[in-house]
Structure 1
């Protein structure tokens, strides 16, 4: 790719993924209020969208009732697009999701995104509790997606369904497919939908997924050409040393997942207590994370953009201290605008 056509950091949009991180048992309310405060902060900085993710039975995440939290955040902002990153569709009736997001779009017109995943967002026992043994494990995701889309646009089902989503029907709510493998990449391309890849926890498949999406893309009523967003962990501080220290919160979070140890997010530490095997797994899972002072982050962000040619980046800054987390997004905003 020539220098004339290579994307620069200032050429693309930036968004935020939030999990309403919980610091201590019993402080869910504080976590949810911090999410709204962060959304208000990044809205002023010019970020494009603020997405919340559905996870269940995880004591460090408070965004399980994702549509409810989206309403909480949207009510506290005015221009920011707010959405799901994502709703795990096999956990739900498509009609219920259509009604929930139809309600959100009716309350906050032109500001709601519906990002969809096919994983359960939890362990198998919790998935069973969510689905009551009646749902799928994602194998019929295309059918669920088709049903959901037809509630917003009945022409997709030739108007044969006697069931209508009210609110929902006739509303233009952008639907994104989310993924950490090639499955959703291919499906999003074939349907002509925007696609978001979870490079922040599945870096190995990033490039192959983006290539799959773009090579399978077919123009649709939604998009004339592919639109790919990539999730990436970014932690910015005044110096590389401080950023690396702050990043140990994210590393401990992934170590806890590796160890099957459920705990709220942890404050940063000077040294990780981990085995060589755990450190290798950590490095593999967080391979695309971008951590450092402004100059380091600017260089690494440009390298990541050169590699992915993303149309948008969705940034996750897992920092324990709320004010330092806000500062990280401010420093990143300065970097990407300059």
Structure 2
């Protein structure tokens, strides 16, 4: 393990999935980060799996710090065990600094999975390419929109090929919270199955440089399983065509400079997931229907970020006024929010030696 004793950092951006009509299809990497600082010490020779964890940031009171329970290190152990490595290098210390709000629709679990796969590849000196690391992330996450944006960067469309059940049912494979319990990742002593090659495929779209994302982040969580639970099992042909038409326009409209507010606003409408999630998020319907480019200069479109409750407003200017209007709508419902202006992150997740 030539790299196993050199300290390094892993910096992983958050992501917003769905983006209007692109349910489970498109994702956008954005400038809130999960950062791992990995060092090596002789201070804890008896540490479980040779790994100690410290944590700061969002979720500090709830995130487990045992290597086989924490999603990041559990994922790394899965990658290592696929290569017949049972533990981290001796003395591994992982300091996690997480600025991504948990359970808010900004891809926190996807970022953790990406960070874990990169951690396993780096400490194991496995030399996995980003494309191969994507196969590992998709064995764990199974929804490619968030993890693809986080790993690869930019505004991306993606799909996951259908997997043979025998490739996914082994209990050694850890699962993120998107999937139901049991969480998996159990250490049975067996070597876990390596993911098939090319599970997921993606394409990067352009992004007009004028467009920024205003994230309005409420102070409550919506579990992904809950948000998926309110969706219907079947959709009408009319609603599916509605979304497909708009998605086909949106992926090009967001590349055009200068952006066309009216075209983008109409192309960001959705009938597949947002109408069904309005019961989970106070003020969502009012925000989506009452704020337009005509009423708020600089606004291009508004959508639910991922499963919510974060609201994403795409805009070219007037960020504070747009944010304050959405904050006021939430305040009427007794919901406190914070807001941030975020930039697209084009380079995706990165490993840097210290």
Higher strand share: 2
- Is TM (by shorter chain) over 0.5? no
TM-score for both structures, normalised by structure 1: 0.28
